[in-house]
Amino acid sequence: MAIYLEMPELDKDFPFRTLINDGNILTTPHWHREVELIYVTKGTISLGIDDIPYKLSEGEIAFISSGLIHYVLASPGSERLVYQFDLSYFASLNKENLDLQKLFSELVPVSLYWKQQQEEIIRQLLESIQLEMDTQQTGYQFVVKAAIFQLISLLIRDIPKQTKQPKKMNKLATKDVLEKLDEIFRYVEDYYQEDITLRNIADVSGYSTFYFTKFFKRNTGKTFLTFLNDYRIDKAKWLLINSDYSVSEIITRTGFESDKTFYRLFKKSMDIAPLEYRNRMKID
């Protein structure tokens, strides 16, 4: 898995999967085009969705819309079920022409703020899906698909909407574009602490610098330099929340050329200073 872009290998005929994650598994910041639900079945977990940290306990649920950056901290003693599915599978039955991605992006992402009855119904659906996936009795895919359709309708109809809309990737691209972006993001992940030039990254993509510049801007909504700086800022935010490194150490570890550049970009991104961000966002 690339840390910035995850591309789950889902069955093209039924693009859905479930995972059981032990609490010791730490999931670093990433995004994917698939919708995801996280159901805490044991203990307590700490996670972040769109730069907002949450703490969820046994029985609580998180919903993550397509394209949102999210992470889960190591939470020893806990367990969580993860459900991922691609909305494109349901497009042929969307006769009302609902914009599912938009509708899902507006939902309150954690069940802490849902009505208890809504949380309970969705919890039961998720448990029934997992049971069918575990036992795989005859006809289990019919049961799972039916449950997912019911889940989608419940999310659309019953889950409260946010007043503030989350930040999203500019465009959920096609598979070929995602694969090329994944290649680029993997390179950035490996070398973001070093000096990455436009020529370097264009060579990695196999494009000329001119074509790469157009390709990247068209498919991410930002220039590569802006993306690289945003990526380094995201890494810095991760370290501020999850380490005791000094700000100077974090600047060095995230590849910024100077303290001045880092502070300017961080303030522009978060509208607060790094230490204030650490104090406000860190989950003990």
Q: What is the mean pLDDT of residues 121-136?
A: 96
How confident is the model at residue 52, as a pLDDT? 83
More confident residue, 170 or 122: 122
* Statement: residue 108 has pLDDT above 90: yes
Is the pLDDT at 97 greater than 90? The verdict is no
Q: Cα separation of 160 and 247, whole Å?
A: 38
Give the pLDDT band (50/70/90) at residue 171.
very low
Beta bridge partners of residue 61, listed in sequence order: 39
Q: Which two tokens stand for residue 237?
A: 């935010």
Tens digits of residue pLDDT in 235-256: 898 899 888 999 999 999 999 9
What whole-number distance in Å separates Cα of residue 159 and Cα of residue 145? 20
Residue 120 is encoded by which pair of tokens? 């309970």
Percentage with pLDDT > 90 across the chain: 52
- Confidence (pLDDT) at 110: 96
What is the band of 185 on the pLDDT scale with cuts at 50, 70, 90?
A: confident
For residue 45, CA distances in Å to 113, 218, 234, 272, 280 come to 17, 36, 21, 26, 18
pTM above 0.85, yes or no: no
Domains of the chain: 16-158 (2.60.120.280), 175-281 (1.10.10.60)
Bridge partners (DSSP) of residue 62 are 38, 110
Q: What is the pLDDT of residue 234?
A: 84
Cβ–Cβ under 8 Å, residues 255 and 279: no
